[in-house]
Chains A and B, each alone.
Chain A
Amino acid sequence: MQAAEKAPATAVKADPVLLRVKNAYKHFPISGFGGLAVRAVDGVDLEIRRGETLGLVGESGCGKSTLARLITALLPVTAGKVVFDGQDITTLKGRRLRRIRRKMQMIFQDPFASLDPRMTVGDILQEPLDNFSIGSVRDRRRRVQELLRLVGLNPNFTNRYPHEFSGGQRQRIGIARALAVNPSFIVCDEAVSALDVSIQAQIINLLQDLQNEFQLTYLFIAHDLAVVRHLSDRIAVMYLGKVVETAGRNDIYERPQHPYTKALLSSIPVPDPAVERERAPIALKGEIPSPVNPPSGCRFHPRCPIARAPGVCSEQEPPLEPHGARDQVAACHFAGQF
């Protein structure tokens, strides 16, 4: 709880925080079920700082991809705010929304599904430039070749179609497309999950190089916590529509404050037989509850090894508060007490 760090940044021109999510909700109503809704994102607060990589982890169905779509204004929020570069993008429309979209791009998981099979690579990469009327036609062509070179592909490949490329090369094309309009912020949604290990390493290294070269800010969503630790500066953990813990990449792995974070980390096997012999995963009871009707109080309490239920854990929802290291927040009544 170092209060000294909280100096107001009003006088400074550039806010160190690029994107702020303030108490964001996204509920998907289930038609015909009298007001029931899937509460995919259920009150999330999050900050992404300029130039950093924020890792977002959690198991399937925890709402991480929905959150990414709220952040990129691909889905409207049910409630709450998303402030990008000082502007609340949830209320933007038309031309002003387009202007923001140019600054945020996305890289998707499946390089087979995210490229139009009927477009040549040149067309795929030129489309964002056409959309935003960037440069002359000749500039655009030159830019396409430059993009291919940037991601380690042959610039003469512009006339080829996606099917002529391997998975790793397609992912490079997806990255080049995201870079085309010079964004400042890129959301990578499971961008390396579908790739083979040796190719995955190439893409991870490429993402790091590009970040250094263009001062990009990344939101890196993945379920592979080892990759997330490798790439991220800070990591946020989601569970059932909520962020339960956020911390620096080493703090969260060395001193997790939320029992879910600890359980999640303990379940990952390590490529070292000596470590594996000693490793004792924390087994969680049961399964992730339905996001239609999340548990009362702390959502994690029915599976939590340290919960006091019935008691404070089943009655009161814990707020995200500073615990553990500097810059670490966790939503748990008994944070760090295990």
Chain B
Amino acid sequence: MGQILLQVDDLHTQFFTSRGVVRAVDGVSLHIDAGETLGIVGESGCGKTITALSILRLVPDPGRITAGKIMFRGRDVTKFDDDEIRDFRGNDVAMIFQDPMTSLNPVTKVGFQIEEAMTAHNRFSASLARTRVVELLKRVRVPAAESRVKDYPHQFSGGMRQRAMIAMGLANEPSLLIADEPTTALDVTVQAQIIQLMKQLNRELGTAMMLITHNMALVASLCQRVVVMYAGRIVEEGPVEQIFKSPQHPYTWSLLRSVPRVDEARKDRLVSIHGLPPDLTNPPPGCKFHPRCPFVIDRCKIDEPGLSEVAANQVARCWVLMRNVKDEDVAAAKASALSLDAAKKLKAEAPPEVGTVAGG
């Protein structure tokens, strides 16, 4: 791939709450090349959205980037002053969000909102911006773009609104588009259209894309490389083909087997990861995944593994690695997928509720 566009180096983003410090992003390093599509997957609260918001320096209060560098084309985003960061957002990196219903202003016309994104950055003159709006809506395949620029968001369907959001993101020709769960709120047929559109735009415009999602199938469909996050850390990273074929971290492995596939008849029970993700104010010692890991060994409980190379271009944070797990243990992990008996046993050792104090 081409040259490195964005390099995140040992990023720490923490939230200073009354309950303590939440280490939402805990030492994340990643990069994205120009024109590349990178997927970031993980469950709610794993830090994937906060990583993206940190890149744009949009971390909400009481959160702060406490350490790390974010290098964009050789300049450190964390050191940008107000003018520079304003210029960076939108011009260099744009972001689209999950819910197109709430990200558009309901009282102004869609065309004007896209135009505003351009005039705000002085990239295009007012008259050029106006003509570009129609062009952009056509580019994202909004039918009858000439008349629809005058519509209000409520006159657009969900899919059309997400197209308008993508048009707005692309308005200033950014070199990176961050999409946070862009299709989660949409119906499947509409989702397929939006994925198709993002693929085409990536090919046509060469815009690099960072797709943040919990949906492994979307990553398989859209991305070249994938980063798997758990409890604020990267646990595995590599080319999509390789990660899906031979995941080495038990979390990645479980994640892939916990979703049924539409193209396969039911065979096994789903692998479910027992328990809950850790409380990030008080993460477990050692590997953050060890309390839920079916292949845990003693070392995992005290000593946190680093990210180490497990294959060409593939890194994983694990002492065990899936290729070293015995077949019978894998079979046992599949079988243990919380049957009734297992559930009964589990309740005895059920941990106190994460994030809340017992009582009430």
Assign chain B's interface to a size class. Answer: 35 or more
Query: Closest residue to B214 on the A side, CB-wise?
Result: A197
B344 at the interface (CB under 8 A from A): yes
Query: Closest residue to B189 on the A side, CB-wise?
Result: A267
- Against B, the Cβ 8 Å flags (1 = close, 0 = not) of A283-316 are 1100100000000000000000000000000000
Binds A, one of B71-79, B118-126, B349-357: B349-357
| A contact residues around B146 at 8 Å (CB) | none
> Is A271 in contact with B192, judged by CB distance below 8 angstroms?
no
The one of B189, B259, B261, B347 that contacts A201, using a Cβ cutoff of 8 Å: B259
> Is B343 in contact with A164, judged by CB distance below 8 angstroms?
no
Q: Given A164-B353, A164-B358, do A270 and B343 touch, yes or no (CB 8 Å)?
A: no
| A contact residues around B270 at 8 Å (CB) | 201, 204-205, 230
Q: How far is the CB of B156 from chain A (nearest CB, A)?
A: 10
| A contact residues around B322 at 8 Å (CB) | none
The one of A153, A206, A209, A223 that contacts B350, using a Cβ cutoff of 8 Å: A153
| A contact residues around B333 at 8 Å (CB) | none
> Is A166 in contact with B272, judged by CB distance below 8 angstroms?
no
The one of B157, B240, B269 that contacts A287, using a Cβ cutoff of 8 Å: B157
Which residues between 265 and 307 of chain B lie within 8 Å of chain A, taking CB atoms? Answer: 265-266, 269-274, 276
| A contact residues around B5 at 8 Å (CB) | none
> Is A274 in contact with B241, judged by CB distance below 8 angstroms?
yes
> Is B43 in contact with A196, judged by CB distance below 8 angstroms?
yes
> Is B347 in contact with A267, judged by CB distance below 8 angstroms?
no
- What's the Cα separation between A210 and B344 when bound, in Å? 13
The one of A153, A163, A253, A273 that contacts B356, using a Cβ cutoff of 8 Å: A163
Q: How far is the CB of A296 from chain B (nearest CB, A)?
A: 22
Query: Closest residue to B241 on the A side, CB-wise?
Result: A273
CB-based A-B contact count at 8 angstroms: 167
| B contact residues around A284 at 8 Å (CB) | 189
| A contact residues around B256 at 8 Å (CB) | 271
- What's the Cα separation between A311 and B115 when bound, in Å? 44
| B contact residues around A225 at 8 Å (CB) | 188, 262
A165 at the interface (CB under 8 A from B): yes
B187 at the interface (CB under 8 A from A): yes
> Is A205 in contact with B272, judged by CB distance below 8 angstroms?
yes
> Is A59 in contact with B189, judged by CB distance below 8 angstroms?
yes
> Is B220 in contact with A250, judged by CB distance below 8 angstroms?
no
Q: Given A166-B353, A197-B214, A223-B188, do A271 and B259 touch, yes or no (CB 8 Å)?
A: yes
> Is A275 in contact with B263, judged by CB distance below 8 angstroms?
yes
Q: Given A202-B274, A205-B337, A276-B221, do A153 and B347 touch, yes or no (CB 8 Å)?
A: yes
- What's the Cα separation between A78 and B360 when bound, in Å? 45
| A contact residues around B221 at 8 Å (CB) | 269-270, 273, 276, 279
| A contact residues around B241 at 8 Å (CB) | 273-274
Query: Closest residue to A286 on the B side, CB-wise?
Result: B143
- Against B, the Cβ 8 Å flags (1 = close, 0 = not) of A160-186 are 110111101100000000000000000
Q: How far is the CB of A20 from chain B (nearest CB, A)?
A: 26
> Is B43 in contact with A197, judged by CB distance below 8 angstroms?
yes
- What's the Cα separation between A48 and B262 when bound, in Å? 22
The one of B260, B269, B348, B353 that contacts A226, using a Cβ cutoff of 8 Å: B260
Query: Closest residue to B193 on the A side, CB-wise?
Result: A283
Which residues between 190 and 241 of chain A lie within 8 Å of chain B, taking CB atoms? Answer: 196-202, 204-206, 208-210, 213, 223, 225-227, 229-230
- What's the Cα separation between A130 and B13 when bound, in Å? 49
B255 at the interface (CB under 8 A from A): yes
Q: How far is the CB of A156 from chain B (nearest CB, A)?
A: 9
Write 8 A-B pairs (CB below 8 A) sorted by A numbering: A196-B43, A197-B43, A198-B255, A198-B273, A201-B259, A201-B273, A206-B343, A287-B159
Give residues in A with beta carbon < 8 Å to B.
59-60, 120, 148-155, 159-161, 163-166, 168-169, 196-202, 204-206, 208-210, 213, 223, 225-227, 229-230, 249-250, 253, 263-276, 279, 281, 283-284, 287
Known: A197-B43, A268-B217. 7 other contacts (CB 8 A): A148-B347, A152-B344, A213-B340, A226-B259, A267-B189, A271-B256, A273-B240
Give residues in B with beta carbon < 8 Å to A.
43-44, 157, 159, 187-193, 195-196, 214-221, 240-241, 244, 254-256, 258-263, 265-266, 269-274, 276, 337-340, 343-344, 346-348, 350, 353-354, 356, 358, 360
